[in-house]
Amino acid sequence: MTIDKAVLSFAGVMVLLSLALGYFVSPYWFLLNAFFGLNMFQAGLTGFCPGAMILKAMGVKPGRAFT
């Protein structure tokens, strides 16, 4: 698995998890959804992704988007 696929998979899981928690537990969990949405938006504009940096430091092989 490349960094690109790992970042997108993690973000997708976190968005779905925060939606479920917001619906079933407390609406405050929707703030986590907003955080990941804003992070994905800024990563698309700037190319800077903290999650990709962490995965790169862990030795995950790079993809094409996050180098």
Q: Which residues of the chain have pLDDT under 50?
A: none
Are 33 and 19 within 8 A, CB to CB? yes
Question: Domain range spanning residue 29?
Answer: 3-55
Whether residue 39 is contained in a domain is answered as yes
Whether residue 60 is contained in a domain is answered as no
Burial 13-24 (b: 16+ CB within 10 A, else e): ebbeebeebbee
Whether residue 22 is contained in a domain is answered as yes
Please tell me the predicted confidence (pLDDT) of residue 47: 87
Please tell me the predicted confidence (pLDDT) of residue 9: 94
Report how many helices (DSSP H) and strands (DSSP E) the chain contains, helices first.
3, 0
pTM of the model: 0.81
Whether residue 45 is contained in a domain is answered as yes
Number of domains, the chain:
1
